[in-house]
Amino acid sequence: MAMTDVLSAEDIKKAVGAFSAAESFNYKKFFEMVGLKKKSPEDVRKVFHILDKDRSGFIEEEELKFVLKGFTPEGRDLSDKETKALLAAGDKDGDGKIGADEFATLVAES
């Protein structure tokens, strides 16, 4: 499954482009711009599974670094600071990774 099966290619391009500058990533604005916030819980879960590259059932810190590339190959890598901030926002149980339910909560809070 491709990200464009769930989200519009135009929205993805705009959202990723808006955060192309280093240290500019804001997950709340990004999820809104990309259209994820308006999606059904089922679609949010599909996006989670696309971002969970190693299919572990979690998005670990290493995968978060490449979250924008998960939406489009043209996306940039997040900085360590941005990655840690995203992990801190999403990791509600403190286990160092984001599960599907935590991801859904993160999107809903944005």
Q: Is 14 annotated as a binding residue?
A: no
In a domain, 2, yes or no: no
CA distance 105 to 91: 10
Query: Looking at residue 99, which CATH number applies to its domain?
Result: 1.10.238.10
Assigned domain for 3 exists: no
Residue 83 near residue 61, CB atoms below 8 Å: yes
58 is annotated as contributing to ligand binding: yes
Residue 1 placed within a domain: no
pLDDT at 110: 83
Q: Residue 39: phi, psi to the nearest 5?
A: -85, 160
Task: Report if residue 84 sits inside a domain.
Answer: yes
Does residue 62 sit within a domain? yes
Which residue range forms the structural domain that includes residue 19?
8-109
User: For the chain, what is the domain count?
Assistant: 1
Q: Using one digit for the tens of pLDDT, what is the confidence trace for 21-34?
A: 999 999 999 999 99
Q: What is the pLDDT of residues 50-93, one digit of tens each?
A: 999 999 999 999 999 999 999 999 999 999 999 999 999 999 99
Question: What percent of the chain has pLDDT above 90?
Answer: 97
The answer to the question of whether 93 is labelled as a binding residue is yes
- State both tokens at 32: 């809104």
pTM: 0.95
Helices 100-109 and 41-51 sit at what angle, rounded to 10 degrees? 120
